[in-house]
Amino acid sequence: MKKIAILASGSGSNAENIANYFKGSDYAEVSFIIANNPNAYVLERAKRLGIESVVVTKDEFKAADSIIAMLQERHIDFVVLAGFLLLVPQKLIQAYPGRIVNIHPALLPKHGGKGMYGDNVHKAVVACGDTESGITIHLIDEHYDQGTTFFQAKCQVLPTDTYEDIASKVHALEYEHFPHVIEEILHTLD
């Protein structure tokens, strides 16, 4: 059984979707959630789902040693960033090479980098007059949104779309694709 840890900073709707996707699976399960925000709703979702969760400070995360120890103690095989806003330290990347995946709410390399998350991304799509947006699921490296792309899915952006409209379309793509792409990546590691 592959054990997945999810790192999240906010609501945790993707974390819940992923956990439900693997619930009852004999292949993988979400068994641990790490949040860097003590007020993140993902912690409530974890409690409701019966998944162990912890809150870590930004400094603890940057130092990485305690995070790596927590993951190793729980025999975590794979790490998923689902709305996690901190840059992953090199030490953690080295501890889980090719085993940390992120989802970005745009078609990278467009609209990526520091500060490009959530509504900031969707507002940039509108400001640029893009005719499409979507999601990028990628392995992470030491830079924001620059790791190897594993999967992209697109949605049309209409001239009348607001950033909220785009956010809604992108969320639908996230919920549809992220869990099964995680499973595909896990199978490449077998």
Q: Which residues are catalytic?
A: 104
Distance CA 19, CA 15 (A): 6
Angle (CA) 149 166 186, round 5°: 30
- The closest of 174, 169, 145, 173 to 157, measured between CA atoms, is 169
Q: How many C-beta atoms surround the C-beta of residue 72 within 10 A?
A: 11
Compute the half-sphere exposure of residue 22: CA atoms within 13 Å on the CB side of its CA.
28
- The closest of 75, 2, 82, 78 to 36, measured between CA atoms, is 82
- The closest of 94, 92, 66 to 81, measured between CA atoms, is 92
Phi, psi of 163 (to 5 degrees): -65, -30
